[in-house]
Homo-oligomer: A and B are copies of this chain.
Amino acid sequence: MNASELGLPMTVPAEGLPARVRIHEVGARDGLQNEKQTVPTAVKAEFVRRLAGTGLTTIEATSFVHPKWVPQLADAEDLFPAVSDLPVDLPVLVPNERGLDRALALGARRVAVFASATESFAKANLNRTVDEALAMFEPVVARAKGQGVHVRGYLSMCFGDPWEGAVPVPQVVRVCRALLDMGCDELSLGDTIGVATPGHVTALIGALTQAGVPVSALGVHFHDTYGQALSNTLAALQQGVATVDASAGGLGGCPYAKSATGNLATEDLVWMLRGLGIDTGVDLGRLVATSVWMAAHLGRPSPSRTVRALSHQES
Q: Interface residues, chain A, CB within 8 Å of chain B?
A: 3, 6-14, 159-160, 162, 164-167, 193-200, 202-203, 224-228, 230-231, 233-235, 255-258, 260, 262, 265, 268, 271-272, 274-277, 301, 304-306, 308-309, 311-315
State how many copies of this chain the complex holds.
Answer: 2
- B306 contacts A8, C-beta separation under 8 Å: no
Describe A's contact surface by its main secondary structure. Answer: loop
Residues of B within 8 A of A257 (CB): 308, 314-315
- C-alpha spacing A256/B93, complex, angstroms: 33
Residue from the list B193, B197, B306 in contact with A227, Cβ < 8 A: B306
Say how far A278's CB is from chain B's closest CB, in angstroms. Answer: 9
Given contacts A3-B193, A195-B3, A197-B275, contact A226 B268 (CB under 8 A): yes
- A227 contacts B304, C-beta separation under 8 Å: yes
Residue from the list B7, B196, B315 in contact with A256, Cβ < 8 A: B315
- A309 contacts B194, C-beta separation under 8 Å: yes
Residues of B within 8 A of A268 (CB): 226-228
- B312 contacts A258, C-beta separation under 8 Å: yes
User: Which B residue sits closest to A229, measured CB to CB?
Assistant: B227
Smallest CB-CB A-B distances: 10 pairs: A197-B275, A10-B166, A227-B268, A14-B199, A12-B199, A227-B305, A6-B165, A12-B200, A231-B231, A256-B315
Extra contacts, 19 of them, besides A10-B160, A258-B311 (Cβ < 8 A), are A6-B164, A9-B159, A9-B200, A10-B159, A10-B166, A197-B276, A198-B276, A224-B305, A225-B309, A226-B309, A228-B272, A228-B275, A231-B234, A234-B234, A256-B315, A257-B314, A258-B308, A258-B314, A262-B305
